């Protein structure tokens, strides 16, 4: 790029380049470009432009490894991670994994193949407490955050000495929130929706369909029927509209989400004798043709995780994996 172009204009041009891999290569052009692309201001500005096309990322857990597949036109294996990792969540192109054997949380950006790891502090392992860990990215400054909530066991909650403890990992360190407005008792929801305690027959899950909220209701008794509802309207006129119902011969175990073309990804009991050691098969329901097609991916129960993501430079300015 010509030296006659002001540096601010160069930065504006680079911010508009959607391909993350190209930006990583451009860091070798000069020290000035490397410093600029590595800066938090540039990474934030580039991410907020959101020029990249969302994809779906699929984690397939098997007995010996955890494969990572990306949907473009098909699902293709692109990477693999440790076989003992637990997937905590995904946001803004980052994925959060938990490695229980070493009590470590790993934030991973598959676009730039960068990880940042941290130990979970003050982890209670006795029967008096339970701990949940969540992950998200702040929409304002795009800082990744891990939230650890330790709360009294429901069985022993009558002991007044027990209290809820919250710690947040942000900016590379664990912190205790300044607010003291914490619940005195733990609250849990079991198959409930909009405050209504549902009967145990349906299993409800929430997902995103064409930028709208969708509710998937699976009949866990028969496991052969699933209803798909989508929120329509705006403001006070919002309501849920039933789109279609799915009926299968094989038992449906879970619904995982929608592909970019609107097809629903579902888990079915595997009846393929060639893959007898994998009890679960992934399939796609096509709403237009009302057909169910096995996509040839097999795994174990509760072994799949599907989430959309965008290519991003987030974590580029963070310290490398320090495990």
pLDDT in tens, 266-302: 999 988 777 777 888 889 999 999 999 988 888 888 7
Give 178's pLDDT tier (boundaries 50, 70, 90). Answer: low
**pTM of the entire predicted model:** 0.72
Q: What is the pLDDT of residue 180?
A: 53
Give 81's pLDDT tier (boundaries 50, 70, 90). Answer: low
Residue 309: strand pairing partners: 55
Give 256's pLDDT tier (boundaries 50, 70, 90). Answer: confident
Q: What is the mean pLDDT of residues 27-39?
A: 92
Tokens of 165: 């403890």
Q: What is the pLDDT of residue 93?
A: 87
pLDDT(187) > 70: no
Tokens of 301: 């129960």
Q: CA–CA separation, 254 vs 276, rounded Å?
A: 19
Q: What is the mean pLDDT of residues 55-66?
A: 66
Q: CA–CA separation, 188 vs 157, rounded Å?
A: 13
pLDDT(188) > 60: no
Q: How many residues does the chain have?
A: 323
CB 158 within 8 A of CB 136: no
CB 25 within 8 A of CB 38: no
Q: CA–CA separation, 116 vs 105, rounded Å?
A: 8
Q: Is the alpha carbon torsion for 152, 157, 162, 167 positive or negative?
A: positive
Q: What is the pLDDT of residue 51?
A: 52
Give the model confidence (pLDDT) of 111-169 as tens digits. 888 899 999 887 776 777 788 888 999 888 888 999 998 887 765 545 555 677 889 99
Q: What is the pLDDT of residue 3?
A: 67
Give 305's pLDDT tier (boundaries 50, 70, 90). Answer: confident
Residue 173: strand pairing partners: 170
Q: Is 257 helix (H, G, I), strand (E, B) or coil?
A: strand
Q: What is the mean pLDDT of the chain?
A: 79
Q: What angle do CA 57, 59, 65 make, to 5 degrees?
A: 140
More confident residue, 25 or 206: 25
Can you list the positions of beta strands (E) in 192-321? 192-193, 196-197, 202-209, 212-219, 225-232, 239-247, 252-258, 264-269, 280-286, 291-299, 304-309
Give the model confidence (pLDDT) of 235-249 as tens digits. 677 888 999 999 988
**Closest-CA residue to 181 (of 195, 160, 166, 171):** 166
Can you list the positions of beta strands (E) in 120-238? 129-137, 144-152, 165-170, 173-175, 192-193, 196-197, 202-209, 212-219, 225-232
Give 66's pLDDT tier (boundaries 50, 70, 90). Answer: low
């Amino acid at each position: 790029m010509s030296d006659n172009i002001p540096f601010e204009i160069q930065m504006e041009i680079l911010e508009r380049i959607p391909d993350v891999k190209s930006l990583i290569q451009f860091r070798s052009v000069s020290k000035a470009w490397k410093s600029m692309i590595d800066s938090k201001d540039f990474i934030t500005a580039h991410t907020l432009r959101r020029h990249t096309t969302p994809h779906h990322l699929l984690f397939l857990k098997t007995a010996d490894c955890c494969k990572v597949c990306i949907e473009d036109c098909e699902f293709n294996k692109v990477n693999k991670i440790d076989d003992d990792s637990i997937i905590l969540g995904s946001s803004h192109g980052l994925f959060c994994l938990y490695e229980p054997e070493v009590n470590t949380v790993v934030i991973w950006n598959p676009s730039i193949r960068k990880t940042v790891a941290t130990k979970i502090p003050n982890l209670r392992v006795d029967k008096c407490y339970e701990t949940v860990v969540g992950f998200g990215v702040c929409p304002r400054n795009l800082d990744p955050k891990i939230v650890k909530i330790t709360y009294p066991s429901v069985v022993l909650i009558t002991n007044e000495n027990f209290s809820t403890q919250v710690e947040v990992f942000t900016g590379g360190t664990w912190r205790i929130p300044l607010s003291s407005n914490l619940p005195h008792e733990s609250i849990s929801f079991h198959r409930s929706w909009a405050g209504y305690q549902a009967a145990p027959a349906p299993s409800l899950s929430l997902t995103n369909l064409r930028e709208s909220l969708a509710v998937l209701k699976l009949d866990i008794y028969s496991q052969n029927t699933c209803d798909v509802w989508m929120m329509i309207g705006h403001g006070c006129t919002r309501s849920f509209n039933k789109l279609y119902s799915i009926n299968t011969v094989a038992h449906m175990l879970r619904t995982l989400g929608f592909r970019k073309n609107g097809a629903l990804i579902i888990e079915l009991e595997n009846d393929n004798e060639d893959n007898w050691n994998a009890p679960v098969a992934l399939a796609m329901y096509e709403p237009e043709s009302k057909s169910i097609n096995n996509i040839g991916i097999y795994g174990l129960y509760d072994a799949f995780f599907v989430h959309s993501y965008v290519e991003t430079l987030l974590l580029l300015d963070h310290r490398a994996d320090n495990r």
